[in-house]
A and B are shown apart, each in its own frame.
Chain A
Amino acid sequence: MTHNNLIRILAIAPTARGFGYAVMEGPRRLIVFSNKSILQNKNERTLVWVEKFIRRYEPAVLVLPAVNAADTRRAKRIKQLQQQLVGLATKHKLKVKLITATKVRERLLGQIRGNKQSLAEVLAGLFPIELAPRLPPKRKVWKSEDPRMDIFDAAGLAVAFWPK
């Protein structure tokens, strides 16, 4: 896919709790970012929300995680959701870009190894006004992941979409 810096992209990061989303206009402009918690009928409700975002922000590209890549293990529900999201993008005539977790780490950390906390810290450094206030504290081993991390998952996908 040829990269054009004058396009708007919507990145969706589906998670066990719901999904995170980010809208970017060019590689340096993070316009909208947040997360949605969905407790019931997760796939159906996610599709409703994503369709709403597509209509509202009119992106040219939908960026999704490559859930079937060799470096990723995701739940069956997430894999189904990704297929449904691709279908939704086709319906709205959007291009779809699937990005692997390895590519996100390579793009942001410069290496294929790294954890989500370090990715989030790099993103907070790239967007100090927007994302730094949303950076969750380092997760303790006995705690579950902070919901705010969904935002950084989506923002990571959005940033990895653009070439260096």
Chain B
Amino acid sequence: MKSLPNYLQAQRKRLALSQEEVGFLLGLNGLNKGNKVCRDETFAREPSLLDALAYEVIYGRPVRELFAGLHHQAQQRVAERAKVLSFRKVRNADARREQTIIQLAELASVNQPSHDPQ
């Protein structure tokens, strides 16, 4: 099963917080701070790195779990690029470099980790 891009709404409801309250905690300004949180939750907007880290602090869950779908997408893309990199010939190749690239390329075959919103 493909994960959803994020599980922010499930985590917010777990903590019984309103969108406006989460917006305030994120440091968003203005009367429509709840709207931005709503857009994050409905996948209409991808939050900035600072906002993503703030979500981690608020909900007490790692970013990779909160944004499980995006994490998986990033993982697959890195793995694809690592495969390409593994074909590149380098003089005096370092064993650590080879091992790192092989490990990253193997991520493409790793199934999506199960997400537990509880």
Contact = CB atoms under 8 A, between A and B. Distances in A.
* Majority SS at the chain B contact face: loop
A129 B16 CA distance: 9
B16 A133 contact: yes
A29 B11 CA distance: 12
Interface centre among A8, A28, A29, A57 (most CB of B within 10 A): A29
Interface string A22-34: 0001001111100
Among A28, A32, A57, A60, chain B packs the most CB atoms within 10 A around the CB of: A32
A30 B118 CA distance: 9
A29 B118 contact: yes
B1 A31 contact: no
Given A31-B7, A133-B16, A56 B43 contact: yes
A58 B13 contact: no
A21 to B, nearest CB: 13
A130 interface: yes
B10 A32 contact: yes
Interface string A1-42: 000001110000000000000000100111110000000000
B-side interface size class: 10 to 19
B4 interface: yes
Interface string B4-36: 100101100110100000000000000000000
B94 interface: no
Contacts of B116: 29
A152 to B, nearest CB: 15
A60 B16 CA distance: 28
A56 B43 CA distance: 8
Interface of A: 6-8, 25, 28-32, 56-58, 60, 129-130, 133
- List 6 tightest A-B contacts by C-beta distance, closest first: A6-B1, A31-B10, A129-B14, A7-B1, A32-B9, A8-B1
Interface of B: 1-2, 4, 7, 9-10, 13-14, 16, 42-43, 114-118
Given A7-B1, A31-B4, A31-B9, 12 more contacts: A6-B1, A6-B114, A8-B1, A25-B1, A25-B115, A28-B118, A29-B116, A32-B9, A32-B10, A129-B14, A130-B10, A130-B14
18 contacts: A6-B114, A7-B1, A8-B4, A25-B1, A29-B116, A29-B117, A29-B118, A30-B10, A31-B7, A31-B117, A32-B10, A56-B42, A56-B43, A57-B4, A58-B4, A60-B1, A130-B10, A133-B16
